[in-house]
Amino acid sequence: MPKAQSASPQKGRVAAAMSALILAVLLASLDQTIVSTALPRMAEDLNGFDDIAWVSAAYLLASTAVTPLWGKLGDMFGRKRLYLAATTVFLIASVACGLAQNLPELIGARVLQGVGGGGMIVLTFALVGDIVAPSERGRYQGMFGSVYGVASIVGPLLGGVFTDQLSWRWAFLINLPVGAVALVMAARALPTATRGAKARIDYAGATILAAIATGLVLVTSFGERWGWGSPAIVGLIVATIALAALLVPVERRVAAPVLPPAMLGSRTVVFSSLIGFFANAAMFAVLVYLPTYLQIVHGVSATLSGIHMLPLVAGLVISQSLAGRRAAHVERLRMILLGGLAANLAGLLLLGTIGSGPGTLLLSVYFLITGVGIGMVPMVVLTTVQNSVPAADLGAASAVVTFARSIGAAFGVAVFGTLLNTGFADRAHTLPTGGGFDPARPDTIGHLPAALRDTALDAFAHATATGYLWIAPALAVGLLLALFLNPSGKKGGTAGVTGAGAKETVPAA
């Protein structure tokens, strides 16, 4: 009986800790997308049309660059204190964003906000490993995956509502009250884990990794704008490859590398990271561009496009929840991963038919299937890696996967955007360019005469569909890699995780 009584407070502390972490992930992931619909108004108010793209790129660049460092520092100095620090940085930067008086101030604040947001996300995923046993990680990681996916769709809608009804500044200022609640809850409920072994911080490795991330994000964010064959983009690609080649020998020479070479030699870590990369590339190609397709081709508002996306969100949330429960038995992880990748691939192939103009009901079915596939993959990938490393490396391992997924998201958006714009330009080049219509910009379709508009809309619909068919092979590669993955993590050290993690399973009172 005393055992049952002690279990209830423990469950209560776990629930409180998870609630705080979910709030934090919601805020950090929302700020990757919430500005998208507010950018035109920001550019107008701050007189910065030429450089407004940096408002989104700055956050993505900073959050991706610092991910490995936050993960390693959490392993060394305790994840709770680092998490609280990251959240504090994020909230201070949110206030700075909301009060910015010019574009350089806003971009600088977004960089700082990305630094905090990147830490919040990666440390949240690692903290799950501290709070719950390995057999339960899949269920909780599924919750965070659902929040992340929902935020990707809800973010632009909220940004539009704030911009139209209040001010774009509220897209940032709203973080303060919600984040303050999450910070207080986290300070009370998160476990105070034991510090790792004392070691000097790997400044060289962290700097090189940050430079690699910067190069990758700049290439993906501005490749089309600057020109894929331009000296700037080619130079960035060459420099990034050179830095990647330099990273391994540098990391081998330090006592506590920010990216342990042994981890890069683990098939489980490498394959899981690659699967996460491909899956996130496909996921963000869907989440970012389907609302645009709905608004342009079907003529719905931004709010209604979000409503049309609800079947995808429902599929994502339901599959995350069901997969997370079944993942309590690690031998089922492979089945869940393969099923998720297969459903995601099927969804992309179905989206490859939307150029023919399917009705709303059929589109909803396509969205539902795609959402089911999207929902299963992230949770399994992260759980698989965490089950394969000792508890002392949970932060670094979580950071590797999060880093790969962030870069995958950037690549997916950039590559699909290029495919979409190129495909539309090829199909619409015969249309007259007078009156403001530009075949290189689908958003100018509305300037065409009504007699020609249907032709342009058909061209855009087929370009969107073709883009998803081109993205589908990436999922096929991920599916192939999953066949050779060992999700149980037995060979990679599950015993070490279970044994070491047992002490950290119960949050400190």
**pLDDT tens-digit map of 125-134:** 778 777 776 6
Tally of CB atoms within 10 A around 248:
14
Measured distance CA(454)–CA(297) in Å, rounded? 9
**DSSP string computed for 250-310:** HHHTSSS-SS-HHHHT-HHHHHHHHHHHHHHHHHHHHHHHHHHHHHHHS---HHHHHHHTH
Q: What is the DSSP letter of 436?
A: G
The residues, ordered by sequence, that sit 6+ positions from 97 with a Cβ below 8 Å of its Cβ are 106, 109, 110, 113, 169, 172
Worst-scoring range by mean pLDDT, 182-191, 276-285, 336-345? Answer: 182-191
411 pairs with which residues across the strands?
Answer: none
Helices assigned H by DSSP within 174-266: 175-189, 203-226, 231-252, 261-264
Enclosing H/E stretch for 68:
helix 54-77
Q: How many other CB atoms are found less than 10 A from the CB of residue 258?
A: 28
pLDDT band at 287, cuts 50/70/90? Answer: confident
Q: Is the separation of the CB atoms in 378 and 351 below 8 Å?
A: no
Q: Answer yes or no: is pLDDT of 315 > 60.
A: yes
- What band does 194 get if pLDDT is binned at 50, 70 and 90? low
State the average pLDDT over residues 148-158.
Answer: 73
Structure-token match 């935020």, residue found: 151
Question: Which is higher by pLDDT, 347 or 400?
Answer: 347
H or E, element range at 137: helix 134-165
Band of the pLDDT at 466, cuts 50, 70, 90?
very high
User: Is the separation of the CB atoms in 333 and 487 below 8 Å?
Assistant: yes
In this predicted structure, which of 93-97, 125-129, 267-271, 334-338 has the lowest mean pLDDT?
125-129
Express each pLDDT in 16-70 by its tens digit. 777 888 887 788 777 777 776 676 677 778 876 666 667 777 787 788 878 778 8
pLDDT at 486 exceeding the cut of 90: no
Contacts of 364 (CB under 8 A, 6+ apart): 308, 311
Say if residue 498's pLDDT is above 60. Answer: no
How far apart CA 71 and CA 307 sit, in angstroms, is 36
Residue 94 corresponds to which tokens in the numbers above?
A: 């949110």
Any alpha helices (H) in 298-393, and if so which ranges? 302-308, 310-326, 333-351, 360-386
Angle between the N-to-C axes of helices 79-99 and 2-33, in degrees from 0 to 180, rounded to the nearest 10? 30
How far are the Cα atoms of 157, 203, 215, 281, 379 from residue 318, in angstroms, in the given order? 22, 42, 36, 21, 13
Supply the DSSP symbol for 195.
P
pLDDT, mean of residues 166-178: 85
- Residue whose token pair is 């632009």: 156
DSSP 50: T
User: Is pLDDT of 107 > 60?
Assistant: yes
Phi first, then psi: give them for residue 429, nearest 5 degrees.
Answer: -65, -20
